[in-house]
Amino acid sequence: MSTYSESLEKTDWNVSDVEDDIEDVDIKLNELSSNECVCQHATDGQTVTQKIKQKVKSLYEKLPMKQSAGNPNTNVILEDFYGPDSEDEYENYGGKRLMLVIQNEIFHKMDNRIGCKADTKALKTTFKKLGFRVKCFKNLEARQIAKTLKEASENFNHGEADCFACVILSHGDEFYTSLRERKNMIYGIDEGRISVERIMNYFDSQNCPALQGKPRLFFIQACRGKDSDAGENIQLLGRTTSQREIIKEETQVDAVPGISSEAINDQETSISDSQPVLPVVEEEGGGQGRTSGTGPGPVPEDMDNQLIIMPSPCYTDSLIMFSSPPGHVSYTMASGSWFIQSLCAEFNKYSINKPFVHYLTNTCRRIAFDFKSLSSVNKKYNDKVVVPCIYSCLTKNIKLV
C-alpha cells in the first residue's frame, strides 16, 4: 500500500487538521425571560441540537408579541425576530461542515507554484472561524485527487452538516469535447488531469445523498486557458480606475505552457468507478473503466466559424467560483494568490446581515480593481488584470454563523 493510501485511510474527517489552535468557547444565551437558559457551544463545528433550538423558540414564544413599526395594529410574528430557517435560507445546524483543500505546489515536470502555503494558512484561519472543519491535502497526483474527493464524499458525516466547501489550488487549463463543449480541468502533480465537472459530481445528490438540499461550494484557483487581459481605465465615481492603489508583486500564472491541447488525447486515461462524468483520470488500482465518448480534445480548427458550447458545471444547490474567466490565466504571488487572499479578506468581514454572494461580489471587485500582474519572466503576462467568475445554482441564501 502506498504512503498516500495509508495516510488517507488514517484521515479523521470529523476534525480539522490542527485542533490545538482553536480554544473551546462557551457562549451563554441572554436571559430571555424569567427562566434562564444556558447553552454551551464549542467552536469548530460542534452542533447546536434541535432540542436547544426548540427550547429557545419556546422561550421566545412566552415573550409579549412586538408590534410592527409600519402598522401598530399588526403583531410581528415570531419568525420576524427569531429568524428560523425558511424558504429564503438554507438550514443552519450551528457550524458542522467540511472544507476540503487540495493544494498542489511541487510538480514533476511543470513549474512549481508559489503562494500555496500562504493561501492554505489564510483558508484555515478564515473558514475555521466560520465553523468549517478544514482538511488539507498537499501535492496529489490526479488519481489521488479523485480518491481524496471520493473519500471526503463517503466518509465525512455530511448528514449532520449544513454545507460543504472544496478549494482547489493547482495548475489548470481548458479542453474541448467531441460535442464542442468547452470545459475546464485541473492538473495533478503528475500532469494527469481531472475535470472540474468530475470534481463537483462527487458531491451531487446522487453520489452524496446526505448533501441533498444543502449548499455545495467550490473555489478553483487555477488557469482556465492561456489568454490574458490588459484591462481598461474607466471612470468610476469621479475618478478613474487607474487612480486606485494597485498591488503589484512579482506574479506567476497557473497555466501549463509545456503541454499543448493537441497532446491531451494521447494522454487520456479512463476511470473505473461509476461517476457519470467526463473521465480524465485512472483510479489507483489501475483498472480500466467505461468512457463517455466525449473525452478532451484539441481546440477545433474552425472554432471561429462554429458554435462552441460553454455549459455550466453546476447542479441544484451548488456554486463554483473560478479565479479567472473562461480561457484566461490566473495569478499568484509569493504572498498568496489574488483570488484566495481576496476571498479570505472579504470573509474575514463576514456578517449574517449581508447575503453570502455579497462577499463573492466584493472579492471580484477587489481583484479587478486592486491588482495588476508583474512578470519579469514572461512579458505576455506583465501588467495584466483579471476578474473571477461565478456560476451559481443556489436556491437560497447561506448563513454560515
pLDDT 10s digits, 154-208:
999 999 999 999 999 999 999 988 888 889 999 999 999 999 999 999 999 999 9
Host H or E run for residue 103? strand 97-103
Over residues 2-53, the pLDDT tens digits come to 667 666 766 777 776 654 343 332 222 233 233 333 333 333 333 344 554 5
Q: Which of 2, 277, 61 is nearest to 150 (CA)?
A: 277
Asked if pLDDT for residue 341 goes beyond 60, the answer is: yes
Q: How far apart are CA 334 and CA 250, in angstroms?
A: 8
- More confident of the two residues 242 and 148: 148
Structural domains of the chain ordered from first start: 13-63 (no CATH), 97-392 (3.40.50.1460)
Q: How far apart are CA 153 and CA 141, in angstroms?
A: 18
Q: Within a 13 Å sphere around the CA of 273, how many CA atoms are in the beta-carbon half?
A: 20
Contact 93, 162 (CB under 8 A): yes
Over residues 109-144, the pLDDT tens digits come to 999 999 999 999 999 999 999 999 999 999 999 999
Which cell numbers hold the place of 73? Answer: 395594529
**pTM for the structure as a whole:** 0.72
- More confident of the two residues 278 and 387: 387
What was the pLDDT predicted at 155?
93
Lowest mean pLDDT among 219-223, 234-238, 363-367, 368-372: 234-238
Q: What is the mean pLDDT of residues 331-350?
A: 96
Burial 197-231 (b: 16+ CB within 10 A, else e): bbbbbbbbbebbebbeebbbbbbbbbbbbbbbeeb
Host H or E run for residue 126? helix 116-129
What was the pLDDT predicted at 279?
39
What was the pLDDT predicted at 50?
52
Model confidence at 236, pLDDT cuts 50, 70, 90, reads: low
What was the pLDDT predicted at 26?
28
Contact 327, 229 (CB under 8 A): no
Q: At what angle do helices 116-129 and 338-347 cross, to 10 degrees?
A: 20
Model confidence at 78, pLDDT cuts 50, 70, 90, reads: very low
Q: How far apart are CA 297 and CA 260, in angstroms?
A: 10
Q: Strands 331-333, 336-337: parallel, antiparallel or unpaired by DSSP?
A: antiparallel
Q: What is the mean pLDDT of residues 267-287?
A: 33
- More confident of the two residues 119 and 92: 119
What was the pLDDT predicted at 11?
78
Q: For residue 55, give the DSSP letter.
A: H
Question: Residues of the chain with pLDDT > 90: what percent?
Answer: 48
Over residues 286-303, the pLDDT tens digits come to 332 222 333 455 555 555
